[in-house]
Amino acid sequence: MSAPATPLIDVATLAAQLDAPRLRLFDASVELPAPRFDGDYRPASGADGWRQAHIPGARHADLLHALSDPQAGFGFALPERAALLAALQRLGIGDGCLPVLYDRSDGFWAARLWWMLRSVGIDAQVLDGGWRAWRGAGLPSASGEPATPASASASAMLTAAPRPAAWVDRRYIEAVLAGDAAGTLVCALSAPLFAGRAPSRYARRGHIPGSRNLPARALFDAAGHYLPPAQLARILAPLQAAARPLLLYCGGGISAAAVGLALSLLGETAVAVYDGSLQEWAADPALPLVALANVSSASERASDADAGAAMPRATDGSPTDAAEPRR
């Protein structure tokens, strides 16, 4: 089983490879209810759902705890490289294996884990359509804790080469706003959250000044599959014409990773995710946020119009108000 030619794998191909010795299959689900009010942030492990039913052979990849840095000050923070590699080894990921990732919701959690693996040089694939597609195809499921085969033991060697350009931090975003660094800011949250018209899980509403809005959910069909490349190319064309690198953020670097995966399907490489995203940014009242609902000056509205240039449009020309991505 060689390195994958594409970040996506369909259910039929995965079903035919379930017994492949190099396959490592992971359910990356996290439970994150919609916010009832500003600051309503209640993530929970998806391990219980995984135990109830999962693709045969799948293990649970715990993005909330085991694969995050608890000292970072915001949820789902990328661990230091050594800690991340050690955690991946404990999951049985080593040189020569092929991780395949899925989740039980909208695919964003799987995309987040895919981006994390990619950033340390591990080529993985995301199951297109996730758990919903697997069950919809009538394929078998398992429950409980699967036995870990010897081939997936923690003793596996892991010598992945890092790709540090996959991430940016708060300081880089501040440098972009100051004109001291290059890049185009892209918010992957829904149009209502971007505009500050809907309750946010974070300390303040709105978006980072100068951002474009590309809701991650606009890149999926109703069944949860990524759109075909031709459709993705049309939606993402404004971003591909923008200054590089593309700096993706959302609430916590989750839906942003789904946009990053979609861009990779089109061959785009100058892309980075702001790991702390709005969870870190909004927590500091000294950092600027724009809430369009609160902008009263016509000149301010006009100056922010370009920020929404990449926003997908409905057939009537209005911005899409798709349901808010989970992160």
> In the chain, what are the domain boundaries?
8-162, 165-308
Amino acid at 146: P
pLDDT, residue 155, reads 53
Report the topology of domain 8-162: Oxidized Rhodanese; domain 1 (3.40.250)
- Which stretches of the chain score pLDDT less than 70? 1-3, 147-155, 293-327
Residue listed under structure tokens 């929404």: 308
Which among 128, 34, 74 has a CA at the least distance from the CA of 253?
74
Q: What are the Cα distances from residue 42, in Å, to 64, 168, 227, 281?
A: 11, 25, 30, 18
Pair of tokens at residue 286: 């000294």
Whole-angstrom distance, CA of residue 112 vs CA of residue 102: 10
Whole-angstrom distance, CA of residue 176 vs CA of residue 193: 22
Q: What is the pLDDT of residues 133-158, one digit of tens each?
A: 999 999 999 999 876 654 555 457 89
Class of CATH domain 165-308? alpha beta
**Cβ atoms of 225 and 250 closer than 8 Å:** no
Q: Give, as one character, the DSSP assignment of residue 292.
A: G
Residue 286 has phi, psi (to 5 degrees) of -80, -15
Phi-psi group of 145: left, alpha or beta (phi > 0 → left; psi -120 to 50 → alpha; rest → beta):
beta
**Cβ atoms of 219 and 128 closer than 8 Å:** no
Query: Which strand (E) or helix (H) includes residue 98?
Result: strand 98-102
Whole-angstrom distance, CA of residue 286 vs CA of residue 288: 7
**CATH topology match: 8-162 vs 165-308:** yes
Q: Give, as one character, the DSSP assignment of residue 286.
A: T
pLDDT, residue 327, reads 54
pLDDT, residue 292, reads 84
Rg of the chain (C-alpha set): 19
Between β-strands 30-31 and 44-45, what pairing exists: parallel, antiparallel or unpaired? antiparallel
pLDDT, residue 152, reads 52
